[in-house]
Amino acid sequence: MAFEGLADKLGEAFKKLKSKGKLTEGDVKEAMREVRLALLEADVNYKIAKDFTNKVTERAIGQ
């Protein structure tokens, strides 16, 4: 059940990003905030969720 909710929330976050066209740093950070919250709601360890979203943010902004 937790994974269904996680998939839905991740899908929503990425759908918002896809609709933007060109992404700003703020767009990426907001999306990663939503992803981090979705991971935490799915009982993913806080440190793992934070590390994951930080790495994705760094790579996305650096491109």
**What is the pLDDT averaged over residues 25-50?**
94
Q: Which DSSP string do the residues of 14-44 spell out, in sequence order? A: HHHHHHHSSPPHHHHHHHHHHHHHHHHHTT-
Question: Could you give the domains of the chain?
Answer: 2-61 (1.20.120.140)
- Is the pTM higher than 0.85? no
Query: What confidence category does residue 38 fall into, taking pLDDT thresholds of 50, 70 and 90?
Result: very high
Q: Has residue 12 got a pLDDT over 60?
A: yes
Q: Has residue 1 got a pLDDT over 60?
A: no
pLDDT of residue 16: 85
